[in-house]
C-alpha cells in the first residue's frame, strides 16, 4: 500500500492540505508540496526521517510519539493541535489527524498524517475575543456611568440626535432623551413611567415584549449584549416609522435596566429605494460628466440634453426634444453620420461601442463653429435591466487635435536635428539597453555611445539622461516597446 501511495506524488501535490505518508516505524515515506512549504524541508530531506523528530522539538517528540501509540487502538484515528517547528525553527500551529493503515486486521503497515495550518486562524480568534471582551467592558462601563449619574446623563444624551430610551424590568420607561422626544413626538414628562408598548405599533408589541424577556433571562453576561436589528416605532400622532436600534442590559443596584439606542431610518430607506430605482441610469449618465450628454428613447428621439450638449449643437433642450439625434447633431461627413447611427443602434440593442476617435468626425453647430468630436454610446436600462433608450456622449477634442498637430510638427523638427546613428542610439536607450550593450550592438566603443548621448542632450538643451528619454517619449521621437513601462516610467529611468 505504501508503494502505491508513494507512486502518486503528483496527486498528493494537488491536495491543498498538508499530507504525509509514514511507514510502520513513523518514518516519512512521502510528503506533498503543502507539507514541504510548511516544514521548510524538501522531499529528499524529509523522506526517511522520523516524523516526531522532524517536526517537533526533542522534548515534545515523546508526546507526539504517544499519539501514534494511541492510534494503534480503535478507532485508529485521532486529531490533535500542536505547534510544529520547521527546518528554520519557525513555529506554526497545525491541526492534524493521524490515521493508522493496516494490510491485515492486525498487521500495521503505516500511517497517514493530514493537517491544516491554523496559525493565522487562532491568532485572529484570539484578537477577536480580546476585542469583544474590551468592547463589552466599554459598553458596560458606559451604561453604568449613564444610569448611575442621571443628571450628568441628561446633559450628554440631550445633545444626541438618536433616541436613547431606558426601561426597567417591568418594561416601563425610565429614561427618554431629547432625541427620543423629537423622533416619537412625546415629551419626557408624558412618557416616563409609561409602558414601552406605547412606543410600539400593535402588530409588533407581543413579539417585542417576548424578545426583551428572552434577552433579560439570558446568562451570557460575559459577552456583548447588543444586536443591531431593524424594527418599527410608533409616534404620538399614530404614524409608524422604520427604525434601527441596538439594545443592551445592565444590572444596577439590584435592578435590571435595558437601554435602547434608536434611529429613525425612514428617510434613509426612502432614499435607498430611490437610488436603487435610478442606479443604472445614474451610473451611465454620471460617468459622462464633462462631456455633452444626450439621452434618447428606443426610437432615437432626443429626451434630454446636458448643458454641454446644448453648447455643442447650439440648440436648447426644449427645442431638441423629440427630434432625431442626427438632425440636431449635424456631422459634416455623411459617413460619420452613418457611424453615429450605427453606434446608436448598437446601444439600443444593449451593447456599448467605443468612441469614434479614429474617424475624427466634425460637428457643425448652429453657431457656425466646427468642432472635432469623439462620440460614444451606451444603453440605458431600467431597474429590471431592460433597455429603455440610450445615452450618447459628445466630447469636443478640437484643442487636443490642434495640440497633436503642433506636437507632430515639433517632432519632425526634432527628428531632423538628430543623425541616423543618434536616432538608433536613442531608441536603444529607451528600450532599456546599457551603454555597454549599445556599444556592442553597433560595434562601437562605449565612449562613442556617450558622445552620441552628450550631442543629443546638447541639441535639445537637456542636462541628464532621464530628461533626454522623457523628452524623446513626450515628442514621440522613438517607438515605445511593449511592456517597457513600470508605474508610468520606462525601464531606462529606473
- Residues of the chain where predicted confidence (pLDDT) is lower than 70: 1-12, 145-160, 218-230, 278-290, 334-335, 353-360, 363-369, 401, 404, 407, 410, 481-494
Q: Residue 477 in 3-state DSSP? A: coil
Task: Say whether pTM exceeds 0.85.
Answer: no
Fold match between domain 136-264 and domain 402-493: no
**CA separation (Å) from 55 to 48, 52, 228?**
13, 6, 46
CATH class, range 277-396 = alpha beta
pLDDT of residue 216: 73
Which CATH code, of 3.30.450.20, 3.90.10.10, 1.10.645.10, 3.40.50.720, is assigned to 2-117?
3.30.450.20
Architecture of the domain defined by 136-264: 2-Layer Sandwich (3.30)
Distance in angstroms (rounded) separating the CA atoms of residues 444 and 438: 8
pLDDT of residue 283: 55
pLDDT of residue 418: 83
The CATH code belonging to domain 402-493 is 1.10.10.10
Q: Are 246 and 224 in contact (CB under 8 A)?
A: no
Those residues with Cβ within 8 angstroms of residue 238's Cβ, 6 or more apart along the chain or in another chain: none
pLDDT of residue 154: 59
Sorted by where each begins, the domain ranges of the chain are 2-117, 136-264, 277-396, 402-493
Residue-wise over 333-367: b if at least 16 C-beta within 10 A, else e? eeebbebbeebbebbbeeeebebbeeeebbbebee
C-alpha cell at 78: 485521532
pLDDT of residue 156: 62
Q: For 63-85, how does the pLDDT look when each residue is reduced to its tens digit (9 = 90+)? A: 888 888 888 888 888 888 888 88
Q: What is the DSSP string of 406-449?
A: HHHHHHHHHHHHS-HHHHHHHHHHHTT--HHHHHHHHT--HHHH
pLDDT of residue 8: 57
Amino acid at each position: 500500500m505504501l508503494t502505491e501511495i508513494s507512486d502518486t506524488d503528483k496527486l498528493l501535490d494537488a491536495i491543498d492540505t498538508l499530507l504525509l505518508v509514514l511507514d510502520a516505524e513513523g518514518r516519512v515515506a512521502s510528503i506533498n508540496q503543502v507539507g514541504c512549504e510548511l516544514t521548510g524541508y524538501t522531499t529528499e530531506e524529509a523522506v526517511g526521517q522520523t516524523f516526531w523528530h522532524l517536526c517537533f522539538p526533542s522534548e515534545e517528540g515523546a508526546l507526539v510519539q504517544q499519539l501514534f501509540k494511541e492510534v494503534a487502538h480503535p478507532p485508529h484515528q485521532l486529531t490533535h493541535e500542536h505547534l510544529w517547528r520547521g527546518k528554520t525553527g519557525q513555529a506554526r500551529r497545525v491541526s492534524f489527524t493521524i490515521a493508522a493503515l493496516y494490510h491485515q486486521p492486525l498487521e500495521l503497515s503505516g500511517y497517514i498524517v493530514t493537517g491544516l495550518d491554523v496559525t493565522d486562524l487562532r491568532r485572529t480568534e484570539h484578537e477577536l475575543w480580546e476585542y469583544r471582551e474590551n468592547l463589552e467592558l466599554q459598553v458596560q462601563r458606559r451604561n453604568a456611568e449613564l444610569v448611575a449619574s442621571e443628571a450628568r446623563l441628561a446633559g450628554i444624551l440631550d445633545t444626541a440626535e438618536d433616541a436613547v430610551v431606558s426601561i426597567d424590568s417591568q418594561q416601563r420607561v425610565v429614561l427618554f432623551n431629547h432625541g427620543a422626544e423629537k423622533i416619537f413626538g412625546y415629551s419626557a414628562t408624558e412618557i416616563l413611567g409609561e409602558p414601552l408598548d406605547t412606543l410600539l405599533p400593535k402588530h409588533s408589541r407581543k413579539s417585542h415584549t417576548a424578545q426583551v424577556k428572552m434577552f433579560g433571562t439570558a446568562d451570557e453576561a460575559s459577552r456583548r449584549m447588543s444586536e443591531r436589528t431593524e424594527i418599527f416605532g410608533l409616534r404620538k400622532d399614530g404614524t409608524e416609522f422604520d427604525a434601527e436600534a441596538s439594545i443592551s442590559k445592565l444590572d444596577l443596584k439590584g435592578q435590571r435596566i435595558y437601554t435602547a439606542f434608536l434611529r429613525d431610518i425612514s428617510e434613509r430607506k426612502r432614499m435607498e429605494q430611490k437610488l436603487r430605482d435610478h442606479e443604472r441610469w445614474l451610473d451611465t449618465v454620471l460617468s459622462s460628466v464633462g462631456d455633452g450628454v444626450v439621452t434618447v428613447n428606443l426610437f432615437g428621439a432626443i429626451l434630454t440634453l446636458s448643458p454641454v450638449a446644448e453648447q455643442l449643437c447650439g440648440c436648447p433642450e426644449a427645442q431638441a426634444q423629440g427630434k432625431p439625434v442626427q438632425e440636431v447633431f449635424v456631422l459634416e461627413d455623411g459617413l460619420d453620420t452613418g457611424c453615429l447611427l450605427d453606434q446608436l443602434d448598437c446601444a439600443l440593442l444593449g451593447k456599448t461601442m467605443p468612441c469614434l476617435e479614429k474617424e475624427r468626425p466634425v460637428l457643425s453647430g448652429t453657431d457656425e463653429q466646427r468642432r472635432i468630436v469623439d462620440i460614444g454610446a451606451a444603453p440605458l436600462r431600467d431597474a429590471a435591466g431592460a433597455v429603455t433608450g440610450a445615452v450618447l456622449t459628445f466630447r469636443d477634442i478640437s484643442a487636443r487635435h490642434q495640440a497633436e498637430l503642433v506636437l507632430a510638427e515639433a517632432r519632425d523638427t526634432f527628428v531632423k536635428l538628430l543623425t541616423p546613428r543618434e536616432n538608433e542610439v536613442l531608441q536603444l536607450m529607451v528600450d532599456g539597453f546599457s551603454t555597454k550593450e549599445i556599444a556592442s550592438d553597433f560595434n562601437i566603443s562605449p565612449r562613442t555611445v556617450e558622445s552620441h548621448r552628450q550631442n543629443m542632450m546638447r541639441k535639445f538643451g537637456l542636462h541628464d539622461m532621464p530628461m533626454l528619454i522623457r523628452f524623446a517619449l513626450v515628442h514621440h521621437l522613438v517607438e515605445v516597446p511593449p511592456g517597457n513601462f513600470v508605474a508610468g516610467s520606462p525601464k531606462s529611468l529606473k
